[in-house]
Amino acid sequence: MSNECLVCSEPMSIAADILAGEILACGACGQEHELLMPDGQHKLALAPEIEEDWGE
């Protein structure tokens, strides 16, 4: 299974045992992606931006 970064199209490898909702950072541009599995298949979406005042 291979997916590409949504920003720079760099191929991103996804571990077979990864769970939906995991955040993956592109090794090339650093863009974070959230892994979705709508139909049991891996799908990458841009991760929501983290609030500045996230706390712990």
Instruction: List residues near Zn ion by CB under 5 A.
Output: 5, 7-8, 10, 26, 28-29, 31
Q: How far apart are CA 48 and CA 1, in angstroms?
A: 23
CB of 30 to Zn ion, least distance (A): 7
CB of 31 to Zn ion, least distance (A): 5
User: Is the Cβ of residue 40 or residue 48 nearer to Zn ion in the bound state?
Assistant: 48
User: Is the Cβ of residue 4 or residue 37 nearer to Zn ion in the bound state?
Assistant: 4
User: Which residues in the chain belong to E strands, given as ranges?
Assistant: 2-4, 11-13, 23-25, 32-36, 43-46
